[in-house]
Amino acid sequence: MAIDDSTAGVDYGDFFHKLQDHCGIPLVKKLKINYNFIYLPFIHIVLSLEVIMKSYCITVFKSIVHPGRLLCILIAYLSLTVIALPAYSEIYRYIDPAGRLIFTDKPKHSGYIRLEKTLKGWTPVTLPFSWKRNQKKFSSAIKRVAQRYQLPHHLLHAIITVESAYNPQAKSRAGAQGLMQLMPATAHRFGVKDPYNPYQNINGGTEYLKYLLSLFHNDLKLALAAYNAGENAVIKYNKQIPPYKETQNYVKKVLKHYHKYKRHDRG
């Protein structure tokens, strides 16, 4: 398990080593925990009696019966709780493409899932999905990327609306991923390391669209058809929209949303 400690601001390592020497027992024995990350509340549980008993079982329980040692443990737990609580606001969890589990209080993108303390432990916060909220949330990133590739941001909005309805975690049955539904090969081709990272996904999808527009001499319909069915399918049918019902409907839907978003901007 990899822990993102880039946001840690306090080093508790020296404090714990001194406390261990004074109490005569290891407080975090055999637990591979980054001391700099211990200020986050889910790590506080390590110092609770429940986790200590689970980790050390009967042996540890016997070792903490001595009042002096028990007092040391309680002081450590209370001091961390009181001192560290102002250091965080919310806790987020993320599993990166390599499968590493990362916890942080400063998420870098929307792929991080917020956790909350419940009776069952730390569980993901489930919010009702809202494409309108996500549309607003990703609007600035879409506009920046559109400017970089000199494309209308309304067009990117239209593609994302049809592809994923602004769900950055969307995955199709065919394996397309993220906001602009990039296939793994396409994501790799355009340097997208994490397709569920909204900014990477938008950038990769837009670069791909720009390439398709160049390939088909700025014919938007053909570029959209290629985005859906693949460039080779368009080439196969003599640079015409392939006779696939899904692709033909896809082109119509994207263009419909594209024109709608442009009209809405005009007022």
**Same structural domain, 92 and 164:** no
Reply yes or no on whether the pLDDT at 46 is more than 50. no
Q: What's the rounded Cα separation, in Å, for the pair 225 and 241?
A: 6
Q: Are residues 55 and 137 in the same domain?
A: no
Segment 74-99 shows an average pLDDT of 60
Q: Tell me the C-alpha distance between 261 and 249, whole Å.
A: 18
Quick: pLDDT tens for 100-144: 878 788 877 767 777 777 766 777 665 555 778 889 999 999 999
Look at residue 172 and tell me if it is in a domain.
Answer: yes
**Token pair in block for residue 171:** 């995955």
Shortest CA distance to 209 belongs to which of 191, 186, 192, 188? 186
Are 5 and 36 a contacting pair, CB within 8 Å?
yes
User: Does residue 108 sit in the same domain as residue 171?
Assistant: no
CA distance 46 to 27: 9
Question: Tens of pLDDT along 159-213?
Answer: 999 999 999 989 999 999 999 999 999 999 999 999 999 999 999 999 999 999 9
- Domain housing 106: 13-124
**Residue 125 one-letter amino acid:** V
Confidence (pLDDT) at 27: 45
In a domain, 198, yes or no: yes
Residues 91 and 147 grouped into a single domain: no
Q: Is residue 7 part of a domain?
A: no
Mean pLDDT of the chain: 76
Question: Of 77, 92, 124, which residue constitutes the final position of a domain?
Answer: 124
Chosen domain end from 124, 144, 166 = 124
- pLDDT (average), residues 18-41: 44
Which residue in the list 50, 90, 116, 163 is annotated as catalytic?
Answer: 163
User: What's the pLDDT band for 86 if we cut at 50, 70, 90?
Assistant: very low
The pLDDT of residue 122 is: 72
Is 8 contained in some domain? no
Start-end of H helices in the chain: 13-23, 41-44, 49-63, 67-84, 131-148, 153-163, 184-189, 198-215, 220-229, 231-236, 245-266
> Is residue 158 a part of any domain in this protein?
yes
CATH number of the domain bearing residue 148? 1.10.530.10
* 2 lies in some domain: no
Specify whether the CB–CB gap between 194 and 111 falls below 8 A.
yes
Examine residue 5 and state whether it is found in any structural domain, yes or no.
no
Q: How many domains does the chain have?
A: 2
Flag whether pLDDT at 237 surpasses 60: yes
Q: Catalytic: 163?
A: yes
